[in-house]
Amino acid sequence: MNFVVSRISQRRFVWASLLLVLGFAATPLPSFAADDSDAPSASERLENETAIRAQAASYARAFGAGDAKELAAMFADDAVFTDQTGAVLKGRSVIGKQMEDYFDKVGRVNIDINIDSIDFPSKNTAIERGISKVGRGTNPGDITKYTAFHVKRDGKWQMLNVLEIPVSAPQMVPKISELGWLVGTWNIDGPQGSISFKADWVGNNNVLRCVSETTGKNGDKSAQTQFVYSDPLARQLRSWQYDWTGGFGQARWQCGGNLFVSDAKSVQADGTTAYARYTIEKLNDGEFSWQSTDRKIAGKRLPDTAKLTAKRASR
Protein backbone atom coordinates (compact mmCIF):
# COMPACT_ATOMS: atom_id res chain seq x y z
CA MET A 1 0.00 0.00 0.00
CA ASN A 2 1.29 3.52 0.62
CA PHE A 3 5.07 3.90 0.70
CA VAL A 4 5.82 6.89 -1.50
CA VAL A 5 4.92 10.09 0.34
CA SER A 6 7.21 12.56 -1.40
CA ARG A 7 6.54 14.79 -4.42
CA ILE A 8 3.21 15.80 -2.89
CA SER A 9 3.00 18.96 -5.00
CA GLN A 10 3.43 16.83 -8.13
CA ARG A 11 0.66 14.36 -7.37
CA ARG A 12 -1.34 13.13 -10.25
CA PHE A 13 -4.80 12.56 -8.84
CA VAL A 14 -6.52 9.41 -10.04
CA TRP A 15 -10.26 8.82 -9.96
CA ALA A 16 -11.60 5.35 -10.05
CA SER A 17 -13.92 5.20 -12.90
CA LEU A 18 -16.94 5.26 -14.97
CA LEU A 19 -18.56 1.94 -15.87
CA LEU A 20 -19.80 3.00 -19.27
CA VAL A 21 -20.16 0.32 -21.87
CA LEU A 22 -20.10 -2.96 -20.01
CA GLY A 23 -21.37 -4.83 -23.04
CA PHE A 24 -19.67 -3.07 -25.94
CA ALA A 25 -20.19 -5.02 -29.17
CA ALA A 26 -22.08 -7.71 -27.25
CA THR A 27 -19.02 -8.46 -25.09
CA PRO A 28 -20.13 -8.77 -21.44
CA LEU A 29 -18.48 -6.83 -18.65
CA PRO A 30 -15.01 -8.24 -18.09
CA SER A 31 -11.85 -8.22 -15.68
CA PHE A 32 -10.24 -10.53 -13.14
CA ALA A 33 -13.34 -12.77 -13.27
CA ALA A 34 -13.94 -16.43 -13.05
CA ASP A 35 -16.93 -18.63 -13.52
CA ASP A 36 -18.91 -19.90 -10.54
CA SER A 37 -17.22 -23.32 -10.64
CA ASP A 38 -13.92 -21.62 -9.85
CA ALA A 39 -15.31 -19.66 -6.91
CA PRO A 40 -13.86 -20.56 -3.49
CA SER A 41 -15.99 -22.44 -0.97
CA ALA A 42 -16.96 -20.78 2.30
CA SER A 43 -14.10 -22.49 4.14
CA GLU A 44 -11.60 -21.60 1.40
CA ARG A 45 -12.79 -18.00 1.43
CA LEU A 46 -12.30 -17.76 5.19
CA GLU A 47 -8.84 -19.34 4.96
CA ASN A 48 -7.78 -17.04 2.11
CA GLU A 49 -9.14 -13.90 3.75
CA THR A 50 -7.30 -14.77 6.96
CA ALA A 51 -4.06 -15.18 4.98
CA ILE A 52 -4.46 -11.84 3.18
CA ARG A 53 -5.27 -9.99 6.39
CA ALA A 54 -2.21 -11.58 8.00
CA GLN A 55 -0.13 -10.40 5.04
CA ALA A 56 -1.43 -6.85 5.55
CA ALA A 57 -0.38 -7.01 9.20
CA SER A 58 3.06 -8.29 8.17
CA TYR A 59 3.29 -5.48 5.62
CA ALA A 60 2.62 -2.90 8.35
CA ARG A 61 5.26 -4.44 10.64
CA ALA A 62 7.89 -4.58 7.88
CA PHE A 63 7.08 -1.03 6.82
CA GLY A 64 7.52 0.26 10.37
CA ALA A 65 10.87 -1.57 10.54
CA GLY A 66 12.00 -0.10 7.22
CA ASP A 67 12.51 -3.60 5.82
CA ALA A 68 12.30 -3.03 2.05
CA LYS A 69 13.39 -6.59 1.27
CA GLU A 70 10.55 -8.19 3.23
CA LEU A 71 8.04 -5.75 1.73
CA ALA A 72 9.20 -6.47 -1.82
CA ALA A 73 8.86 -10.21 -1.21
CA MET A 74 5.10 -9.72 -0.79
CA PHE A 75 4.81 -8.61 -4.42
CA ALA A 76 4.78 -10.91 -7.42
CA ASP A 77 7.85 -10.87 -9.61
CA ASP A 78 5.81 -9.22 -12.39
CA ALA A 79 3.87 -6.87 -10.09
CA VAL A 80 2.77 -3.39 -11.12
CA PHE A 81 2.48 -0.65 -8.49
CA THR A 82 0.87 2.71 -9.29
CA ASP A 83 1.69 4.99 -6.37
CA GLN A 84 -0.21 8.02 -5.11
CA THR A 85 1.84 10.37 -7.30
CA GLY A 86 0.85 8.50 -10.46
CA ALA A 87 4.27 6.87 -10.90
CA VAL A 88 4.07 3.30 -12.25
CA LEU A 89 6.60 0.81 -10.90
CA LYS A 90 6.91 -2.49 -12.77
CA GLY A 91 8.53 -5.58 -11.28
CA ARG A 92 9.39 -6.70 -7.75
CA SER A 93 12.98 -5.50 -7.99
CA VAL A 94 11.95 -2.00 -9.09
CA ILE A 95 9.36 -1.78 -6.31
CA GLY A 96 11.92 -2.96 -3.75
CA LYS A 97 14.49 -0.40 -4.92
CA GLN A 98 11.93 2.40 -4.63
CA MET A 99 11.18 1.30 -1.07
CA GLU A 100 14.86 1.28 -0.18
CA ASP A 101 15.27 4.79 -1.55
CA TYR A 102 12.23 5.95 0.37
CA PHE A 103 13.42 4.58 3.71
CA ASP A 104 16.92 5.96 3.11
CA LYS A 105 15.39 9.39 2.63
CA VAL A 106 12.75 9.58 5.38
CA GLY A 107 13.80 6.87 7.83
CA ARG A 108 11.33 4.66 9.65
CA VAL A 109 7.69 5.63 9.70
CA ASN A 110 4.58 3.73 10.69
CA ILE A 111 1.76 2.67 8.39
CA ASP A 112 -1.79 1.93 9.49
CA ILE A 113 -3.71 -0.33 7.06
CA ASN A 114 -7.49 -0.50 7.33
CA ILE A 115 -9.04 -3.09 5.02
CA ASP A 116 -12.54 -2.21 3.80
CA SER A 117 -13.25 -5.35 1.79
CA ILE A 118 -11.71 -8.47 0.24
CA ASP A 119 -13.44 -10.07 -2.74
CA PHE A 120 -12.53 -13.40 -4.34
CA PRO A 121 -13.28 -13.58 -8.09
CA SER A 122 -11.77 -17.08 -8.04
CA LYS A 123 -9.93 -19.47 -5.75
CA ASN A 124 -6.56 -18.00 -6.66
CA THR A 125 -7.37 -14.31 -7.08
CA ALA A 126 -8.46 -11.64 -4.59
CA ILE A 127 -9.22 -7.92 -4.68
CA GLU A 128 -8.44 -6.03 -1.49
CA ARG A 129 -9.64 -2.46 -0.93
CA GLY A 130 -8.86 -0.18 1.99
CA ILE A 131 -7.24 2.95 3.37
CA SER A 132 -3.65 3.35 4.55
CA LYS A 133 -2.19 6.12 6.69
CA VAL A 134 1.52 6.88 6.89
CA GLY A 135 2.99 9.13 9.58
CA ARG A 136 4.84 9.47 12.85
CA GLY A 137 3.29 9.63 16.29
CA THR A 138 -0.06 11.41 16.34
CA ASN A 139 0.53 12.92 12.89
CA PRO A 140 -1.38 10.74 10.41
CA GLY A 141 0.70 12.03 7.47
CA ASP A 142 -0.63 10.86 4.11
CA ILE A 143 -3.99 9.14 3.77
CA THR A 144 -4.30 6.89 0.74
CA LYS A 145 -7.07 4.75 -0.67
CA TYR A 146 -5.77 1.58 -2.32
CA THR A 147 -6.88 -1.39 -4.37
CA ALA A 148 -4.62 -4.46 -4.36
CA PHE A 149 -5.13 -7.39 -6.74
CA HIS A 150 -3.64 -10.59 -5.27
CA VAL A 151 -2.79 -13.87 -6.96
CA LYS A 152 -2.04 -17.19 -5.29
CA ARG A 153 1.01 -18.84 -6.81
CA ASP A 154 2.61 -22.01 -5.48
CA GLY A 155 0.36 -21.76 -2.42
CA LYS A 156 1.47 -18.21 -1.58
CA TRP A 157 -0.55 -15.01 -1.89
CA GLN A 158 1.28 -12.16 -3.64
CA MET A 159 0.28 -8.69 -4.76
CA LEU A 160 0.17 -8.47 -8.55
CA ASN A 161 -1.34 -5.04 -9.12
CA VAL A 162 -1.66 -2.20 -6.61
CA LEU A 163 -3.25 1.20 -7.24
CA GLU A 164 -2.98 4.06 -4.73
CA ILE A 165 -5.24 7.11 -4.72
CA PRO A 166 -4.44 10.03 -2.38
CA VAL A 167 -7.30 11.48 -0.36
CA SER A 168 -7.55 14.35 2.09
CA ALA A 169 -8.67 13.73 5.64
CA PRO A 170 -11.17 16.62 5.89
CA GLN A 171 -13.07 15.68 2.71
CA MET A 172 -13.03 12.02 1.81
CA VAL A 173 -16.48 11.83 0.23
CA PRO A 174 -16.37 12.82 -3.47
CA LYS A 175 -19.18 14.99 -4.79
CA ILE A 176 -21.32 13.63 -7.60
CA SER A 177 -21.45 17.17 -9.02
CA GLU A 178 -17.84 16.76 -10.13
CA LEU A 179 -19.15 14.54 -12.92
CA GLY A 180 -21.22 17.39 -14.31
CA TRP A 181 -18.99 17.67 -17.39
CA LEU A 182 -20.37 14.32 -18.53
CA VAL A 183 -23.97 15.54 -18.88
CA GLY A 184 -25.05 15.53 -22.52
CA THR A 185 -24.88 13.07 -25.41
CA TRP A 186 -21.72 11.41 -26.73
CA ASN A 187 -20.83 9.15 -29.64
CA ILE A 188 -18.16 6.45 -29.63
CA ASP A 189 -17.04 4.64 -32.78
CA GLY A 190 -15.03 1.45 -32.40
CA PRO A 191 -13.80 -1.46 -34.52
CA GLN A 192 -16.79 -3.62 -33.53
CA GLY A 193 -19.57 -1.04 -33.61
CA SER A 194 -20.74 2.27 -32.20
CA ILE A 195 -22.19 3.59 -28.96
CA SER A 196 -24.59 6.44 -28.33
CA PHE A 197 -24.26 7.61 -24.74
CA LYS A 198 -26.42 10.10 -22.82
CA ALA A 199 -25.99 11.35 -19.24
CA ASP A 200 -28.41 13.49 -17.25
CA TRP A 201 -29.28 14.31 -13.64
CA VAL A 202 -32.08 12.58 -11.72
CA GLY A 203 -32.99 12.39 -8.03
CA ASN A 204 -32.81 16.13 -7.42
CA ASN A 205 -29.38 16.21 -9.07
CA ASN A 206 -28.02 13.66 -6.59
CA VAL A 207 -27.78 10.81 -9.10
CA LEU A 208 -26.22 10.78 -12.55
CA ARG A 209 -28.13 8.57 -14.98
CA CYS A 210 -26.15 7.22 -17.94
CA VAL A 211 -27.92 5.45 -20.80
CA SER A 212 -25.90 3.78 -23.57
CA GLU A 213 -27.13 2.13 -26.75
CA THR A 214 -24.72 -0.11 -28.64
CA THR A 215 -24.97 -1.06 -32.31
CA GLY A 216 -22.66 -3.82 -33.54
CA LYS A 217 -21.25 -4.07 -37.04
CA ASN A 218 -23.79 -6.82 -37.73
CA GLY A 219 -26.66 -4.57 -36.68
CA ASP A 220 -27.25 -6.18 -33.27
CA LYS A 221 -28.36 -3.69 -30.64
CA SER A 222 -28.19 -3.57 -26.87
CA ALA A 223 -28.75 -0.94 -24.21
CA GLN A 224 -27.79 -0.31 -20.61
CA THR A 225 -28.73 2.15 -17.90
CA GLN A 226 -26.34 3.15 -15.14
CA PHE A 227 -26.89 5.20 -11.99
CA VAL A 228 -23.91 6.89 -10.31
CA TYR A 229 -24.19 8.23 -6.77
CA SER A 230 -22.14 9.16 -3.72
CA ASP A 231 -21.91 6.59 -0.91
CA PRO A 232 -21.20 8.46 2.36
CA LEU A 233 -20.45 5.29 4.33
CA ALA A 234 -17.90 3.96 1.83
CA ARG A 235 -16.70 7.54 1.20
CA GLN A 236 -16.64 7.04 -2.54
CA LEU A 237 -18.75 7.20 -5.66
CA ARG A 238 -20.49 3.99 -6.63
CA SER A 239 -22.66 2.91 -9.53
CA TRP A 240 -25.16 0.25 -10.57
CA GLN A 241 -25.99 -0.69 -14.13
CA TYR A 242 -28.71 -2.76 -15.79
CA ASP A 243 -29.00 -3.97 -19.38
CA TRP A 244 -31.75 -5.10 -21.74
CA THR A 245 -30.99 -8.78 -21.26
CA GLY A 246 -31.52 -8.75 -17.48
CA GLY A 247 -27.87 -8.51 -16.49
CA PHE A 248 -26.61 -6.08 -13.88
CA GLY A 249 -23.33 -4.79 -12.52
CA GLN A 250 -21.69 -2.42 -10.08
CA ALA A 251 -18.50 -0.39 -9.78
CA ARG A 252 -16.61 1.49 -7.10
CA TRP A 253 -15.40 4.99 -7.92
CA GLN A 254 -13.00 7.42 -6.34
CA CYS A 255 -12.58 11.09 -7.09
CA GLY A 256 -9.66 13.23 -8.17
CA GLY A 257 -9.09 14.80 -11.57
CA ASN A 258 -9.44 13.88 -15.21
CA LEU A 259 -8.45 10.21 -15.00
CA PHE A 260 -10.92 7.50 -13.99
CA VAL A 261 -9.95 3.93 -13.09
CA SER A 262 -12.22 1.26 -11.61
CA ASP A 263 -12.43 -2.45 -10.99
CA ALA A 264 -15.98 -3.35 -11.93
CA LYS A 265 -18.03 -6.52 -11.74
CA SER A 266 -21.27 -7.76 -13.29
CA VAL A 267 -23.64 -10.69 -13.47
CA GLN A 268 -24.97 -11.62 -16.90
CA ALA A 269 -28.56 -12.76 -17.49
CA ASP A 270 -27.40 -16.40 -17.57
CA GLY A 271 -25.65 -16.05 -14.19
CA THR A 272 -22.12 -15.72 -15.57
CA THR A 273 -19.95 -13.37 -13.53
CA ALA A 274 -17.35 -11.05 -15.00
CA TYR A 275 -14.89 -8.33 -14.00
CA ALA A 276 -12.92 -5.59 -15.75
CA ARG A 277 -10.76 -2.56 -15.16
CA TYR A 278 -12.05 0.54 -16.95
CA THR A 279 -9.97 3.62 -17.62
CA ILE A 280 -11.53 6.89 -18.75
CA GLU A 281 -9.75 10.19 -19.18
CA LYS A 282 -11.36 13.54 -19.84
CA LEU A 283 -9.34 15.00 -22.70
CA ASN A 284 -11.23 18.29 -23.03
CA ASP A 285 -14.81 19.57 -22.81
CA GLY A 286 -15.72 17.74 -26.00
CA GLU A 287 -13.80 14.45 -25.75
CA PHE A 288 -12.86 11.67 -23.37
CA SER A 289 -11.01 8.39 -23.91
CA TRP A 290 -12.23 4.94 -22.81
CA GLN A 291 -10.52 1.57 -22.51
CA SER A 292 -11.23 -1.76 -20.82
CA THR A 293 -8.30 -3.89 -19.63
CA ASP A 294 -7.62 -6.97 -17.49
CA ARG A 295 -10.85 -8.50 -18.77
CA LYS A 296 -12.06 -11.95 -17.87
CA ILE A 297 -15.39 -13.75 -18.13
CA ALA A 298 -16.44 -17.31 -17.34
CA GLY A 299 -12.88 -18.12 -16.36
CA LYS A 300 -11.44 -16.95 -19.69
CA ARG A 301 -9.25 -13.91 -20.12
CA LEU A 302 -10.17 -11.54 -22.93
CA PRO A 303 -7.84 -9.17 -24.77
CA ASP A 304 -7.78 -5.50 -23.82
CA THR A 305 -9.98 -3.28 -25.91
CA ALA A 306 -8.57 -0.54 -28.09
CA LYS A 307 -8.50 2.92 -26.55
CA LEU A 308 -11.59 4.65 -27.95
CA THR A 309 -12.47 8.35 -28.07
CA ALA A 310 -15.93 9.64 -27.21
CA LYS A 311 -16.97 12.87 -28.89
CA ARG A 312 -19.65 15.17 -27.57
CA ALA A 313 -22.77 15.42 -29.75
CA SER A 314 -24.73 17.88 -27.60
CA ARG A 315 -25.00 19.25 -24.09
Whether 106 is covered by a domain: the verdict is yes
Stretch 16-33: mean pLDDT: 33
Whether 5 is covered by a domain: the verdict is no
For residues 134 and 103, what is the distance between their CA atoms, to the nearest angstrom? 13
CA torsion through residues 51, 235, 14, 290, sign: positive
pLDDT of 25 > 70? The answer is: no
Residue 15's pLDDT is 26
Same domain, 248 and 159: no
Q: List CB contacts of 30: < 8 A, sequence separation 6 or more.
A: 274, 275, 276, 292, 294, 295, 296, 297, 302
User: Predicted confidence band at 68 (pLDDT cuts at 50, 70, 90)?
Assistant: very high
Same domain, 31 and 114: no
The domain that holds 138 is classified in CATH as: 3.10.450.50
Stronger pLDDT, 304 or 254, i.e. the higher one = 304
Stretch 283-308: mean pLDDT: 86
Stronger pLDDT, 311 or 4, i.e. the higher one = 311
For the whole model, what pTM was predicted? 0.52
Q: Which domain holds residue 136?
A: 39-167
- Is residue 127 within 8 A of residue 148, CB to CB? The reply is yes
Whether 61 is covered by a domain: the verdict is yes
DSSP per-residue string spanning 256-305: -SSEEEEEEEEE-TTS-EEEEEEEEEEEETTEEEEEEEEEEETTEEEPPP
Stretch 295-308: mean pLDDT: 83
* Best-predicted range by mean pLDDT (33-47, 82-96, 138-152): 82-96
Boundary (domain end) residue, out of 167, 189, 204? 167
- Is residue 240 within 8 A of residue 226, CB to CB? The reply is yes
Residue 252's pLDDT is 83
User: Predicted confidence band at 37 (pLDDT cuts at 50, 70, 90)?
Assistant: low
Summarised one tens digit per residue, pLDDT across range 128-171 is 999 888 876 544 567 888 999 999 999 999 999 999 987 754 54
* Best-predicted range by mean pLDDT (40-54, 59-73, 190-204, 240-254): 59-73
Residue 24's pLDDT is 33
Same domain, 142 and 191: no
What does pLDDT average to over the chain?
A: 81
Same domain, 184 and 242: yes
pLDDT of 280 > 60? The answer is: yes
Same domain, 124 and 83: yes
Boundary (domain end) residue, out of 167, 191, 220? 167
Same domain, 105 and 141: yes
For residues 71 and 263, what is the distance between their CA atoms, to the nearest angstrom? 24
pLDDT of 9 > 90? The answer is: no
Whether 27 is covered by a domain: the verdict is yes
Same domain, 286 and 199: yes
| β-strand partners of 131 | 114, 145
User: Predicted confidence band at 87 (pLDDT cuts at 50, 70, 90)?
Assistant: confident
Same domain, 260 and 305: yes
Same domain, 181 and 126: no
Whether 6 is covered by a domain: the verdict is no
Instruction: Provide the number of structural domains found in the chain.
Output: 2
pLDDT of 31 > 80? The answer is: no
Count how many residues are written for the chain: 315
Same domain, 155 and 197: no
For residues 115 and 211, what is the distance between their CA atoms, to the nearest angstrom? 33
Summarised one tens digit per residue, pLDDT across range 222-240 is 899 999 998 876 677 889 9
pLDDT of 42 > 80? The answer is: yes
Same domain, 192 and 219: yes
Percentage above 90 pLDDT, the chain? 40
- Is residue 261 within 8 A of residue 281, CB to CB? The reply is no
Which of 51-65, 114-128, 167-181 has the weakest average pLDDT? Answer: 167-181
Whether 3 is covered by a domain: the verdict is no
